[in-house]
Amino acid sequence: MSVLARHVQKAGVDLVVAHANSSRALALLKTARIHIAGSHLRDETSGESNMPAVRKQFARGSVVVVNLAIWEEGIIVARGNPKGIRGLEDLARKDVLLVNREPGAGSRALLDAGLRRLGIGRGHVRGYNTLAHGHLPAAWQVHIASADCCIATRAAARVLGLDFVPLLRERYDLVVRKAFLALSPVQALLETLHRADFRRELEMLGEYDTRDAGKVMT
């Protein structure tokens, strides 16, 4: 989002970013306290990103969902992966300490769904109730050795020089109320998603897939 804010500024738009997890962002959008919400909520049943969550919260036709990028989420571990963590099943080991995300975060939902599939109770995961609010704050706890691992993006691991065990690729979308689409700052932001220089920087920063950036999702 900081990269997007910098590129939008070229169009004379100041993007004010309120850091919140995906569920909180959609709730803020629903009450019209923000213009745009960022979301990466994956529906476990269908495997679809964001659309099921949006349909539950918003009236049909009241919002537009626009892709920003596709990223990888997985398990961030210390450089060299000293605990030999290969999958979510390793989080049940007594020698592995997790730092978790708060309820409502897409990363928390990913973890919970994976644990359910494996039949692992939350009480068997050391650190499950220890929280970090955001991908980078979670990865930082791994960086300073306060935890052995966390669930976050490859980009967060890359920024801090940590190793990464991929779990899945998912969409990070922007959800916009249709009533706000006519606002010139919103138009400028959506147009920026199509710019080659913006896409190139995002790809270099965190290996994001931007081929669908700016595409309206249905």
| pLDDT per position as a tens digit, 86-142 | 999 999 999 999 999 999 999 999 999 999 999 999 999 999 999 999 999 999 999
Chain centroid offset of residue 116 CA: 21
Average pLDDT per block of 10 residues along the chain, 218 residues long: 93 92 96 95 91 95 96 97 98 98 95 96 98 96 98 95 96 96 96 96 89 93
Domains belonging to the chain, first-starting first, are: 2-70+171-217 (3.40.190.10), 72-168 (3.40.190.10)
Look up the pTM and report it.
0.89
177 Cβ contact list (under 8 Å, min separation 6): 29, 32, 35, 62, 63
Element (H, E) at 141: helix 135-143
What pLDDT sits at residue 218? 76
**What is the DSSP pairing of strand 149-153 with strand 131-132?**
unpaired
Quote the CA–CA distance of 5 and 26 in Å, as a whole number. 19
